[in-house]
Amino acid sequence: MPAAASLDLLDNIVWHSLSGPQRRFAAGSETARRYARGLSPLTGFADPARPDFDALAAHADIGEHLFCGAWTGAPPAGWRVDAEVPAVQMVWNGGVPEDDAAPHAIALTDAHVDAMLELVALTQPGPFGPRTIELGDYFGVFEDGKLVAMAGERMEAGCLREISGVCTRPEAQGRGLARGLMHRLIRLQIGRGLVPFLHVMSFNTRALELYERMGFGRHRELLMRIVCRE
């Protein structure tokens, strides 16, 4: 288990990622930051209790949806909350997974972005853009020329590294493909001295149970808010 100080970063993980190891991917100021366009719509504030929406406005298009996970106040004038989705943060508590868990997996590159976006559009694993692959390692399984499963990395702060973009085509589900890809990522992260974590929607009980069986433990619940500049 990581130290409590490291787990505290999860309370405002987007901000700590964009003001730390992933600063080069940030657009914003010293009070409000988002991932640059094409990477992810995730947004963070230096002080979630006093979110600086004025600073964020210069980096948000009118009508663009941004995702905030640490702020719970009322939106200021010129902004609205379009959706609120409960989610669970989970942290890896298990050991090192078995080797060769995804023997047919390949490392995904820029050449695979179109296939990745097609799979994301079909399965809806969460916000994902044409540049998301720049945020970490991604692995996938191809069958008959189609990408049928993938998993990769997104946020990073302290010793924490997020597993994200986990998805499988409906006709390929139930074969352990996503689990194998996640095992490969977990092995890599542990080998680098990092602690895997992830987010999952609270209503996705199937995924919650699967991740718990794999070795993830529930850290905390949060409310993911989708905001829009009017």
- For residues 59 and 109, membership in a common domain is answered with no
Q: Which of 86, 118, 137 is a domain's end point?
A: 86
Domain containing 95 equals 89-216
- For residues 96 and 155, membership in a common domain is answered with yes
- SS3 at position 65: strand
Using alpha carbons only, how large is the chain's radius of gyration in Å? 17
> Does residue 224 lie within any of the structural domains?
no
- For residues 174 and 204, membership in a common domain is answered with yes
Please tell me the predicted confidence (pLDDT) of residue 72.
Answer: 83
211 dihedral zone (left: phi>0; alpha: psi -120 to 50; beta): alpha
The structure tokens 């009118």 sit at 62
Please tell me the predicted confidence (pLDDT) of residue 19.
Answer: 97
- For residues 67 and 137, membership in a common domain is answered with no
| pLDDT digit string (tens) for the chain, length 230 residues | 566 658 999 999 999 999 999 999 999 999 999 999 999 999 999 999 999 999 999 999 999 999 998 888 899 999 999 999 999 999 999 999 987 667 789 999 999 999 999 999 999 998 999 999 999 999 999 999 999 999 999 999 999 999 999 999 999 999 999 999 999 999 999 999 999 999 999 999 999 999 999 999 999 999 999 999 99
CB neighbour list of residue 64: distance below 8 Å, 6 or more residues apart? 41, 228, 229
- For residues 128 and 108, membership in a common domain is answered with yes
- For residues 108 and 41, membership in a common domain is answered with no
- For residues 68 and 96, membership in a common domain is answered with no
- For residues 102 and 129, membership in a common domain is answered with yes
For strands 160-168 and 195-201, give the pairing. parallel
Domain count, the chain: 2
